Chain A
Amino acid sequence: MVHGVSETPSRGGEKPRKRLLMPWTACSTILLLAIFLGAWEAYVRFFGVSSLILPPPSAVVGGLIVMVGETETWNHVWVTVYETVLGFFFATVIGISLGAVLGKILWLEKTLNPFIIATQVVPKVALVPLFVVWFGFGPSSKVIVSAVLAFFPIFTNTLLGVKSVDTGHREVMRSLNASRWHTFWRLELPSALPYVLTGMEIGVVLAIIGAVVGEYLGGNAGLGHMAVAAMNAYQTNQLFAVIILLTGLGFSFYVTITALRRLIVPWHESVFVNRDQG
């Protein structure tokens, strides 16, 4: 259990503690997963549940292995990745710019606020069929759904970030006669970045959901389409396999953004606290 503890702790002895804790949490996670899967398998077999309704984990894994072996699957994965990345990219660019601009221009924010709230509360998934009608069955309608869903958390968090700049910090810039541009670039932007990244963490998950929902409702490509196809063919275990693929995809996107946080705002509490407290 104590493997990996180095004799010379770097930076105030944070590392050894962390290394000690990591394997333990990893072990318990794996144990918990094993118990869950075992119970699932036992339940299906013991009660003779139809595999149409709930396939046992063994059948899901079997389906997954077959699926992963087919190049067709990877084409679908690629389509979903492409739509998600592109949608997320547009959402990020537009969300950050609009959030930054409205955060700076008070009257514009006040004027647009009712519209922003209205578009926030409208169930956007209900608009998906409309997007399909407007932008066709190809990838562009999915990119747009994905962008629309991911946009709001990024936008609102950026807006919040730009508006919550510390008064004391503002006074430092003011006492230095800093220009508007310098104030934005050297103060408002860096101070808003942790907020922006929080928005992006939420946004990237929504971007995948947007792409998949778009694929459910139209077209013939992507993991969302695969899920529908599996359903229609009564291959429930394949549906589960698709869900596992989607989870893996979502996880890797999320991890990327979290890594980005460590890279971009290494000074922030959200990164610091994790490091200090193992």
Chain B
Amino acid sequence: MTAVEIELSGIDKVFPTPEGDIHALATTSLSINAGEFLVLLGSSGCGKTTLLRLIAGLVRPTNGQIRIGGRDLWPGKSRNRQAIQDMGIVFQEANLFPWLTIEKNISLPLSLKGASKSVLRETTRRLTKLVGIEGFERRWPRELSGGMRQRAAIARALSYDPQILLMDEPFGALDAMTRESMNLELQRIWMATQRTVVLVTHSIAEAVFLADRIVLLSPRPGRIDTVIDVPFERERDVRLQTSGEFQKIIRLLRDRLEHA
């Protein structure tokens, strides 16, 4: 029924270092459907960021093949630019440009694509409101708190409405309340736009609340430990978190994480 958007087959990633090779990811195969909300869960250092960077074409797999929307990501020596043209990334660090104001940072992707001034202004107005940093448009990134910078980075990734959204612990620096409202907001955006989302998180509850499917990674070397389908109907409500079924999945994941 649904098309496969991201396909990893037999992926290995080895980082050679002077102290010896680091096997960050071992023989990983994974298919992510178009419109799916997939969450990567796992302990620190188990290769979540590496997996995301592989999908984004920022690092090259040592072995295996990656296809994005049917296109081979590494057909030759260099990465296939077309394969990643419709992809937005929220990095683990906000990675805002310190020489651009928040507003200019958010509109950077669109301005690279040559959008008009009025489009840029309209987009930043909409997005700063969406992520809750309106009033800070003219500030330098360093004048914002860590969580606000992270929200600006989310706005930057959303600004050009990419088909695939990769998010590396986007809410890690936020307080519980803001985090909850950002989760709801993300679910709403995802439902309205039917984009493919791959999100990395440390929070089991966040994973269960947001995901269609959770991929649990185990460390050293990183590999897929368990894949869990999350059956809850959309649109999910915060009250869902107190239900027995929700708690059951959380317990299951916690068990697996302890074993891994």
Contact indicator B97/A190 (Cβ below 8 Å): yes
Whether B58 pairs with A171 at a CB distance below 8 angstroms is yes
CB closest chain-B residue, reference A167? B95
- The interface size bin for chain B is 20 to 34
Total CB contacts across the A-B interface at under 8 A:
49
Within 8 A of B (CB), among A252-278: 265-268, 272
Q: Which residues of B contact A186 (CB under 8 A)?
A: 97, 108, 112
**Does more than half of chain A's interface fall in helix, strand or loop, or is it mixed?**
helix
A168-B93, A272-B142 given; A175·B87 CB < 8 A: yes
* Given A178-B112, A186-B108, A193-B99, 19 extra CB contacts under 8 A: A168-B93, A169-B95, A169-B97, A171-B89, A171-B91, A172-B91, A172-B97, A175-B57, A175-B87, A175-B89, A182-B112, A186-B97, A186-B112, A187-B97, A190-B99, A191-B97, A191-B99, A267-B98, A268-B98
B109 at the interface (CB under 8 A from A): yes
B226 interfacial contact with A, CB 8 Å: no
How near does chain B come to A58, taking the closest CB pair, in angstroms? Answer: 51
The contact of A175 among B56, B98, B140, B142, by CB within 8 Å, is B56
Instruction: Indicate which residue in A168, A193, A265, A268 contacts B95 across the interface (CB closer than 8 Å).
Output: A168
By a CB distance below 8 angstroms, the chain A residues around B142 are 267, 272
Q: List 18 A-B contacts (CB under 8 A).
A: A166-B95, A169-B97, A171-B58, A171-B91, A172-B95, A174-B58, A175-B56, A176-B108, A178-B112, A182-B112, A186-B97, A186-B112, A191-B99, A193-B99, A267-B98, A267-B140, A268-B98, A272-B142
Q: Does A177 contact B (CB under 8 A)?
A: yes
Q: Pick the most buried of A175, A178, A267, A272: most chain B CB atoms within 10 A of its CB.
A: A175
Interface residue ranges of A151-180 to B (CB < 8 Å):
166, 168-169, 171-172, 174-178
B109 partner residues in chain A, CB cutoff 8 A: 176
- Give chain B's interface secondary structure class: loop
Please indicate the chain A residues that have their CB under 8 angstroms from the CB of B239 in the complex. Answer: none
| CB closest residue in chain B, given A171 | B58
Given the interface pairs A169-B95, A190-B97, A267-B99, the reply to whether A177 lies near B85 with Cβ below 8 Å is yes
What string of 1s and 0s marks CB contacts (under 8 Å) between B76-115 and chain A?
Answer: 0000010011011101010101110000000011001000
Q: Considering the chains assembled together, what is the distance between the CA atoms of A166 and B93 in angstroms?
A: 12
Chain B contacts for A166, CB-based, 8 A: 95
Indicate with 1 or 0, residue by residue over B48-90, a CB within 8 angstroms of chain A CB atoms: 0000000011100000000000000000000001001101110
State the interface size on chain A (CB cutoff 8 A): 21
**Inter-chain contacts of B98 with A (CB < 8 A):** 267-268
Q: Known: A267-B140, A267-B142, A272-B142. Contact between A176 and B95, CB under 8 A?
A: no
- The digit string for A173-214, where 1 denotes a CB below 8 A from any CB of B, is 011111000100011001101000000000000000000000
Write the nearest CB–CB distance from B204 to chain A, whole angstroms: 27
Q: Which residues of B contact A266 (CB under 8 A)?
A: 140
Complex A-B, nearest 5 residue pairs according to Cβ-Cβ distance, in ascending order:
A168-B95, A190-B99, A175-B89, A267-B140, A267-B99
Q: How far is the CA of A193 from the CA of B97 in the complex (A)?
A: 13
